[in-house]
Amino acid sequence: MIRSETSDHANAITPAAALESLKRTLNFEDWPLREQELVAGFSPSVSRLPRLEQYELDHETLLPIISTWVGRNYFYRQYESRSAFALTVIVGHQTAKDVAEGLLLQIVYSQMWSEPRVEFNAKIGDVAVYKHPDPNASIAFMRNNIGINLENYSSNGKEFSLEGLALNIDNSLKETVTVQSLSEDPDAPRILRFEPRARTIHPGERTDLDIEVRDEHPPLHFLFNAKMGSYNQDPTRKDHWYFRSGPKSGQAEVALTVVNEINLMAQGRCSIRIE
């Protein structure tokens, strides 16, 4: 099929359009999601699930923070059996619906052609999505405010029970006591202090950022976002951060998100006047 060089994009599907299309296909508006029954964080490394303990954590990656949820990818291997799987955990801090959208984004951002199907209140999760006819290839499910996506990466894929692992994780989540809000939860990190040493600086100048965080589930990840300047780590002291102003005058802002091991976050913000 030959197309013109300057396509009018009439048939083009963007990821955003693909997400909307998938939501329609999977009757997203009808999903029986449990709002206001929040599980206070989840991490496979802390949960001590018997099935997971048979595997070695190869690496983990925190996903970009998107509004109200924290997502993290974990990649597990078992070298003897050549089994491997990718586990994505999404912890919603406000609504289950946001998490469910995040879970669908995981499906949208895949190159493989698939025709997913959805199951409500079946044996796994409040809602489960299967990308393939084979449930051992890929399963995504929601339990309360927790989204789980499992992808099989085994070289001996047919012998590995992804569904069994999903059940194991879901049973663990079902047994967890829920709360109505995470904002004051003792397991969530708390930013006690986040402020610049100097409230006003000149263009090009720096000011230290004083940060104090209380948390029961280390290690903590510090994620910054700065406007009209940059956040920087002191090369000689890795726990020391500072803001460097850009060349223009105005009101600079620095946002800080801290995420702990069980994927709970706290957010803070401070302003610096540049003149």
By CB under 8 A, name the binding residues for another protein.
1-3, 5, 7-15, 18, 58-59, 61, 63-64, 66, 73, 75, 86, 105, 109-114, 131-132, 134, 137-138, 151-155, 157-158, 204, 226, 229-233, 235, 244, 246-247
CB-CB contact of 60 with 72 (8 Å): yes
Cβ proximity to another protein, 185 vs 224, nearer residue = 224
| CA–CA separation, 68 and 90 (whole Å) | 10
Q: Kindly tell me the burial class for residue 190, based on how many C-beta atoms sit within 10 Å of its own C-beta (0-12, 13-18, 19 or more).
A: middle
Closer CB to another protein, residue 28 or residue 75? 75
Distance between CA atoms of residues 181 and 94, nearest Å: 8
Q: Residue 64 burial (CB < 10 Å; 0-12/13-18/19+)?
A: exposed
> In the chain, what is the straight-line distance between the N-terminal and C-terminal CA atoms, in Å?
59
- Residue pair 104/176 in contact (Cβ under 8 Å)? The answer is no
The C-alpha atoms of residue 160 and residue 168 are separated, in whole angstroms, by 14
What is the amino acid identity at position 154?
S
For the chain, give the number of residues.
275
- Within 8 A by CB and 6+ apart from 1, the residues are none
DSSP lists the bridge partners of residue 259 as 221, 265
Cβ 131 to another protein shortest distance, Å? 8
Distances (CA, A) of 196 to 23, 189, 209, 217, 255: 43, 20, 4, 26, 12
